[in-house]
């Protein structure tokens, strides 16, 4: 085994859920390279799309996260947000998926907040760009999961497969790993609270 494939993990249990974090990734010098050759998170390299990790939309941590982001989305202009009119047609940019998770709509193959390469204002997250224009922190404008270290995953029962969310998809490329699991759930990572090497 190549030593570059070894990862150190930490996990802890909280309220019946197990959280697992890849310390090797979290202490690495990884940085987002959106728009600078990022291959995206599809199952094949697609840097020409300039989707970054936005292909599958954004997941929200709950109602408070949704309300905060909606407040910022309401400030976006047509010049800042390519899909503003589409969001209005859909009754808003944010919805619930079939599992009840609060998510952004996906439009034309990516998050509704993602401006595409043909947009006059350029590609990238409308919320991120508008925050910079307002001289504010993009992390305050965006869903808690978006733009973070690609760390969450949706866990299903032992009888079904693990379904990665946008925050985890593509994490094998960067080494980012963290999982949230209900007790007894199926997931990728150590099953006990421990710190130790883990092969990717």
Distance CA 168, CA 21 (A): 12
Residue-level pLDDT at 3? 65
With 70 as the cut, is the pLDDT of residue 55 above it?
A: yes
What is the pLDDT averaged over residues 49-64? 91
Distance CA 43, CA 130 (A): 30
Token pair of 163 as six digits: 């379904």
80 and 175 belong to one structural domain: no
Contact 95, 86 (CB under 8 A): no
The number of distinct structural domains making up the chain is: 2
141 and 154 belong to one structural domain: no
Residue 163 is part of which domain span? 1-30+149-200
Give the rounded distance of the alpha carbon of 83 from its chain centre.
19
Query: Which of 148, 171, 186 is at the close of a domain?
Result: 148
Query: Which of 108, 129, 148 is at the close of a domain?
Result: 148
pLDDT tens column, 135-175: 999 989 999 875 544 443 333 222 233 333 333 333 333 32
55 and 113 belong to one structural domain: yes
121 and 57 belong to one structural domain: yes
53 and 132 belong to one structural domain: yes
Question: What is the torsional sign of CA 91, 96, 102, 105?
Answer: negative
19 and 39 belong to one structural domain: no
Instruction: Tell which phi-psi region holds residue 163, choosing left (phi > 0), alpha (psi between -120 and 50) or beta.
Output: beta
Residue-level pLDDT at 159? 29
62 and 72 belong to one structural domain: yes
128 and 158 belong to one structural domain: no
pLDDT tens column, 98-135: 999 999 999 999 999 999 999 999 999 999 999 999 99
122 and 67 belong to one structural domain: yes
pTM: 0.66
144 and 51 belong to one structural domain: yes
Predicted confidence band of residue 34 (pLDDT cuts 50, 70, 90)? confident
Least confident segment among 8-12, 84-88, 131-135, 161-165: 161-165
- Hey, which residues does 6 pair with through a beta bridge? 199
Distance CA 12, CA 8 (A): 14
DSSP symbols for 9-25: EEEEEETTEEEEEEHHH
13 and 46 belong to one structural domain: no
173 and 84 belong to one structural domain: no
């Amino acid at each position: 085994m190549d030593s570059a494939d070894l990862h150190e993990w930490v996990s802890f249990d909280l309220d019946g859920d197990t959280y697992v974090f890849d310390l090797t990734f979290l202490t690495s010098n990884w940085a987002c390279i959106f728009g600078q050759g990022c291959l995206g998170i599809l199952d094949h390299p697609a840097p020409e799309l300039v989707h970054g990790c936005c292909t599958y939309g954004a997941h929200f941590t709950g109602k408070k996260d949704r309300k905060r982001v909606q407040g910022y989305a309401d400030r976006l202009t047509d010049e800042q947000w390519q899909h503003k009119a589409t969001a209005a047609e859909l009754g808003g940019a944010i919805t619930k998926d079939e599992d009840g998770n609060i998510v952004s709509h996906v439009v034309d193959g990516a998050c509704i907040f993602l401006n595409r390469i043909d947009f006059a204002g350029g590609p990238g997250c409308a919320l991120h760009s508008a925050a910079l224009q307002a001289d504010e922190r993009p992390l305050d404008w965006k869903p808690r999961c978006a733009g973070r270290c690609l760390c969450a995953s949706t866990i299903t029962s032992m009888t079904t497969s693990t379904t990665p969310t946008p925050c985890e998809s593509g994490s094998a490329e960067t080494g980012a790993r963290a999982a949230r699991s209900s007790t007894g759930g199926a997931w990728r990572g150590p099953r006990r609270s421990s710190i130790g090497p883990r092969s990717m």
